[in-house]
Amino acid sequence: MKFLGIRLDEHDSNITYTDGVNVKYFKPERNNQIKHFGYNNLSAWLEAEKILDFKLSEIDAIALVIDVFRHPWCKREDPEALYESITIPVEPFKDLKCPVYRVDHHYAHSLSCWPLKDNSATDFVLDGFGDLYRSCSVFSRNKMMDVYTLETMFSFGKFLANFGQHIGVLGIGDDAAGKLMALKQFGNVNHKFYNHLQQYELKDSKNIFDWHAFEKIVGSKLAAQYQYLDFLRTVHDYMEEAFPKFFLKHAHPTNVITYSGGIAQNVCINSKLKKHFPKIIIPPHCNDEGLTLGCVEFLRQLYEQPKFDNKNFPYWQSDEAPIKGPSEKTIRDTAQDLAKGKIVGWYQGHGEIGPRALGNRSILMSPEVKNGKSILNDRVKHREDYRPFAASIKIERTKEFFNWEGESPFMLYSVKFKDKIFNPISHIDGTSRIQTVTSDQWYYNELLNEFEKITGLPMLLNTSLNDNGKPIAGKPADALALLKNSDIDSMVIGDKSYNK
């Protein structure tokens, strides 16, 4: 059967099509280069018909994630229903013969983890908010076991976004939470306030985020105004402990669990969860970019179809791939440039699903470049000076450099260096967000091998192939524009290198 999953409305629209086996994915921001782009009507998404190569008339079923309050024709959500059959009285839906379903936002998140697991005991979803202003949902075997709204558990993501705006963090609002995750390390824990928070659980988040309580403990409203980062650091550190406690109320540490939703991008919280739940699964598309993967999985289960093929996941973007990959010579030459301290753009195959660069759409640098972090932030990414960079490392050598066991394929954990700290890939707290690389990523793994032969280091600084405020490059032309408008030294697109 042929299924279509559609995410419309405010931000991060995406489309997934499957012919019953193969999965094709399209995120329009990679095509139009408007970050967090959302379709604001019910027909603009039809551009995906050509890009994903399907005919709407041949689709057997459609599942959508939409914001009900934006569409007058859509009936009010049933709080007990995880999905419902709907009739959409406008083109292109009104004349379709296939059934159309609206899927609950959080339910779609929970189902989106299918490329990474067969079964899970518990599925956690925490984000800004989903349908019916839900901030947190807990599922088990496709049944909702627990649910909270913004009233009963205010979203940590919403708090960070609001607080970032209050203290003057610039840029796109949807990116503020990630920026504050980095910025909080520049503050100090106020231990009196931390002790005050000990009485609260995750569900008491409104009390945890209480600025007035912080002012009282500081003893002066004026003095508190100069301690924004201390407040942020204290709240964030406390939430890093509160999340595992909440999860432990719903799952056993030995369980396979999944965690999705926008807050699952917080690597500090993820690292604490990993210690309690070694089998936790967090997908690279944990934010709204994964919703339509959940939609097609919902349809697969509803119609009792065979499981989809997850081959080459997560490199599923329907963007423009080079005609051919890099030759061994191109890989060697690129490794030599990196060993010399050059900044290299790396555009190979299809792009990754999710906001992280995982070796197909990357800006690369040696982790030994002096002032490398400042150079990249100032002259390439044109972004705030406090923001750190991640590292890609060969999985078999990870333990030599980091206090980490096992895989971290999607850059979703923050880990301590073991001995030597490499400043370009280190945050102020002596941690790095790492991606472990295996031989399955042949081109990228070979590049690491060649770099290791020259330098002895099995790792590279890796950041996404984009400028500040722009999405990751979706076409070679986007990559070449970045080469032109930044201090990147060369851009490797497929087997061709473009140098300044």
In the chain, domain spans: 3-112+287-302, 118-280, 328-499
Helix (H) or strand (E) holding 183: helix 176-183
Range 118-280 classified under CATH 3.30.420.40: yes
124 phi and psi angles, rounded to 5 deg:
-105, 135
Report d(CA 28, CA 428) in Å as an integer. Answer: 35
For the cut 80, the answer to whether the pLDDT of residue 76 exceeds it is: no
Q: What is the CATH number of domain 328-499?
A: 3.90.870.20
pLDDT in tens, 363-381: 999 999 999 999 999 999 9
pLDDT in tens, 168-189: 998 887 898 999 999 999 999 9
Identify whether the C-beta of residue 196 lies closer than 8 Å to the C-beta of residue 217.
Answer: yes
For the cut 80, the answer to whether the pLDDT of residue 128 exceeds it is: yes
Residue 315, amino acid: Y
Q: Which of 385, 355, 358, 381 is nearest to 460 (CA)?
A: 358
Q: Helix, strand, or coil here: 431? A: strand
Report d(CA 377, CA 73) in Å as an integer. Answer: 46
Q: Which of 418, 423, 414, 413 is nearest to 399 (CA)?
A: 418
Report d(CA 66, CA 74) in Å as an integer. Answer: 10
Residue 343, amino acid: I
Identify whether the C-beta of residue 98 lies closer than 8 Å to the C-beta of residue 116.
Answer: no
Q: Which of 367, 336, 380 is nearest to 497 (CA)?
A: 336
Range 3-112+287-302 classified under CATH 1.20.1640: no
Q: Which of 84, 128, 88 is nearest to 109 (CA)?
A: 128
pLDDT in tens, 260-286: 999 999 999 999 999 999 999 999 999
Report d(CA 14, CA 291) in Å as an integer. Answer: 8
For the cut 90, the answer to whether the pLDDT of residue 10 exceeds it is: no
Q: What DSSP line would sit under 395-413, residue for residue?
A: GGGHHHHBS--S--TTS--
Q: Helix, strand, or coil here: 206? A: helix
pLDDT in tens, 24-55: 999 999 999 999 999 988 999 999 999 999 99
Note whether 3-112+287-302 and 328-499 share their fold: no
